[in-house]
Amino acid sequence: EPEVTQTPSHQVTQMGQEVILRCVPISNHLYFYWYRQILGQKVEFLVSFYNNEISEKSEIFDDQFSVERPDGSNFTLKIRSTKLEDSAMYFCASSLQVLPSPLHFGNGTRLTVT
């Protein structure tokens, strides 16, 4: 069964550094998302992306965050200057349609900012 792939599985970075989290969505999917889960907290929506532009973003997704689909297969989340509070599990998801298709999630990238 096709799946969403995320790399790396774990990333450690120092405060102030830039990180890029990578995702390969399911190949025929058209809608892409990033979510995050801080340890012990709810899964939170960050951003949705369709047709090469952001369709919705949360208040968490400030100017430090950006997303890109640089080619036909990858979907990336960049954090320009990481903060301690950015430490979390970041999940990429994709769906065939925005509604009524289910979202398919990757296994996540655990980001640790020291």
Footprint on this chain of another protein (rule: CB under 8 A): 4, 6, 31, 33, 35, 41-45, 48, 50, 55-56, 58, 91, 93, 95, 98-108
Tell me which residue of 63, 81, 105 sits closest to 17, measured CA to CA: 81
- Give 42 or 72: the residue with its C-beta nearer to another protein: 42
Of 15 and 54, which has the nearer Cβ to another protein?
Answer: 54
**Least gap, CB of 29 to another protein (angstroms):** 11
Record the tokens describing residue 37, joined without a space. Answer: 């889960």
Torsion of the alpha carbons at 72, 102, 78 and 75, rounded to the nearest 10: -10
* Of residues 35 and 75, the one with the C-beta less far from another protein: 35
Widest pairwise Cα distance in the chain: 40
